Structure 1
Amino acid sequence: MEDIMRVLLIFATIEGQTREIADHIGRYLKDNGHEAVTIDATHPPKSLSVDDVDAVICAGPVHIGTFPAPLRRYVHAHVRELMARPGAFVTVSLTAAGDDQSEWEELREIAARFSEETGWWPVTVHHAAGALKYTEYDFFRKWMLRRIADKKDAPTDTAHDYEFTDWGALDMFLDGFLKDAPAVAGKV
């Protein structure tokens, strides 16, 4: 029987898709016999002991070439505790929905900069595709993202939202991380 792990799930969201991904990860952990301790880095608890946590999953969206400041601050402030456990990083972006290799390289560089800035180096990274939530955008954002989408042959009908997250790929990533985490515990 697989050991039950207690996983610290830290996330920040801007438009809500990363929250949906974090909720999915939490349900996935529970459905597979694990426990998730979830923290929204935008509104973190006053105190939290991570002594009883076996692994860490951090999730954040890429916006304008970086991750949300609350996520960066939280991870940096707790880097010593986080580095003492196996960690996985789930980045969320529209780049992950495409196949432009130069954009993928930039995405990998943005994730590496996050690690350089915070000092937290996960053992594995998954790049999840985000969503276009046209119906929630203000006029300017809707106009700007529609123009970008048009150049990428992505959906441009602003009367609808479009989700690109590959939930099956995320689940396979989580399976691999949960399987491998006990083997790397104590080695990070």
Structure 2
Amino acid sequence: MRILVIYATVEGQTREIAEHIERYLKDNQHEAVMVDTTHPPDSLSIDEIDGIICAGPVHIGAFPAPLRRYVERHKRELMARPGVFVSVSLTAAGDDAGEWEELNEITAHFSEETGWWPVSVHHAAGALKYTEYDFFRKWMLKRIADKKDAPTDTTHDYEFTDWGALDLFVDGFVKDIPDVAGKI
């Protein structure tokens, strides 16, 4: 299978997730074509693409503008292939029902905005990268983390992504592509 992996990143965790997906696909005898929507290629033919994995982080209640613009601009081509969405956020590390509902609404709003509707969504937990934050961002995220009983030692970074769950999601998608492709 040849899979198009489209992503945008803000702090780098979504790039790590997209690169992990790329390695995982290659390790399982598939091909991955990567597109960073912050610096997209001038042209891209998806004629030889079997499926699409789109990944983006939630920041301040929305996905990055470059990702939204790219998906909206190419929605017709993207909708012609089975596609899934990997939503990356710290909310996915928790179990607050209200926050999960909001996360699902943000993801649904992305589809409404762009006109691209994935066949499935995986919510991947992100990371707290305290050592990379400026003073204000570090202070703000430490306060939020403290309220959620999350790590607050700002001398360390914390990754919450469940790589095994992500691999299972990608496996399921790749296995389902032949069945889903004929129904789009």
TM-score (norm. length: structure 1): 0.97
Aligned to 2:92: 96
| Deviation, structure 1 residue 186 | 2.8
Shift of 1:180: 0.7
> Match of 1:20?
16
Distance between the aligned counterparts of 2:182 and 2:51, measured in 1?
11
What count of residue pairs does the alignment treat as equivalent? 184
Tell whether 2:72 aligns with 1:76. Answer: yes
Determine the structure 2 residue equivalent to 1:168: 164
Q: Which residue of 2 aligns with 1:108?
A: 104
The one-letter code matched in structure 1 to 2:131 is T
SS at structure 2 position matched to 1:125 = strand
Quote the RMSD (CA, aligned, Å).
Answer: 0.5
**Deviation of 1:21 (Å):** 0.1
Asked if residue 142 in structure 1 is aligned to residue 138 in structure 2, the reply is: yes
Identity %: 80
What secondary structure is seen at the aligned counterpart in 1 of 2:4? strand
Q: Which ranges of structure 2 fall in alignment gaps of 5 or more residues? A: none
Instruction: Supply the distance in 2 between the matched residues of 1:49 and 1:161 (Cα, whole angstroms).
Output: 38
Match of 1:47 among 43, 52, 65: 43
- Does the aligned pair in 2 maintain the 1:50–1:81 contact within 8 Å? yes
Contact 1:85 1:186 in 2 (8 A): no
1:132-184 deviation digits (Å, cap 9, x = unpaired): 00000000000000000000000000000000000000011111111111101
TM-score normalised over the length of structure 2 = 0.99
Matched to 1:156, the amino acid is T
**Unpaired segments ≥5 residues, structure 1:** none
Aligned residue in 1 for 2:59: 63
Shift of 1:73: 0.2
The runs of at least 4 consecutive aligned structure 1 residues that moved more than 3 Å come to none
Pair 1:120-2:116 in alignment? yes
Query: Which amino acid is the alignment partner of residue 38 of structure 2?
Result: T
List per-residue Cα deviations over 1:8-47 (Å, max 9, x = no partner).
0000000000000000000000001100000000000001
Alpha-carbon distance in structure 1 between the residues aligned to 2:108 and 2:177 = 21
* Aligned counterpart, 1:186: 182
CA–CA separation in structure 1 for the residues paired with 2:31 and 2:130? 34
Which whole-Å CA distance do the structure 2 matches of 1:17 and 1:187 have between them? Answer: 33
Contact residue 14 and residue 61 of structure 1 kept, 8 A: yes
In structure 2, how many angstroms separate the alpha carbons of the residues matched to 1:56 and 1:148?
34
Choose the corresponding residue for 1:87, options 68, 83, 88: 83
